[in-house]
Amino acid sequence: MKDYAKLLERAKSRLPEEKTTGKRFEIPRVRSRVIGMKTIIHNFKEIADALNREPRHLMKFLSNEMATAGSLEETRANFQGRFRFDTFERLMRIYTDNFVMCPVCRRPDTQIVREKRLSFIVCAACGARSSVKPV
Ligand SMILES: [Zn+2]
């Protein structure tokens, strides 16, 4: 058993090191707090900025998904009701998958472009243009 652990250790040390300079994409940790009957996300703008999306767009998605009303206040967001931060984190991952990541190359260097009633994700990395459903 000891040998196995050693082997595993050796195998691990041979793996190439994770590149910290790479384009690994992370959503900032949600800092939320429940006050009375509402929930505040303190770093809402920071998150929207990291996703490179309009805070209003993200807000609309979250309020729809949580079936509640939300409002923006400077860098914060307020939601009616009590929600846990992991609810927000789960929804933000869905948002990122649907509205930030390029469906073709899976990179986050994208923009949402609206034309008439349609929205597209336009990717700066691979040039793909993919239709996206409205929020
Ligand atoms: Zn792409």
CA of 22 to the centre of ligand 1 (A): 16
CA of 69 to the centre of ligand 1 (A): 33
Domain borders along the chain are 29-100, 103-135
The three-state (H, E, C) secondary structure of the chain, written as one string = CHHHHHHHHHHHHHCCCCCCCCCCCCCCCCCEEEECCEEEECCHHHHHHHHCCCHHHHHHHHHHHHCCCEEEECCEEEEECCCCHHHHHHHHHHHHHHHCCCCCCCCCCEEEEEECCEEEEEECCCCCEEEECCC
> So what's the architecture of 29-100 in CATH?
2-Layer Sandwich (3.30)
CA of 104 to the centre of ligand 1 (A): 5
CA of 109 to the centre of ligand 1 (A): 8
CA of 16 to the centre of ligand 1 (A): 25
Question: pTM for this structure?
Answer: 0.80
Per-residue pLDDT tens digits of the chain, which is 135 residues long: 567 677 667 666 655 544 444 456 889 999 999 999 999 999 999 999 999 999 999 999 999 999 999 999 999 999 999 999 999 999 999 999 999 999 999 999 999 999 988 999 999 999 999 999 888
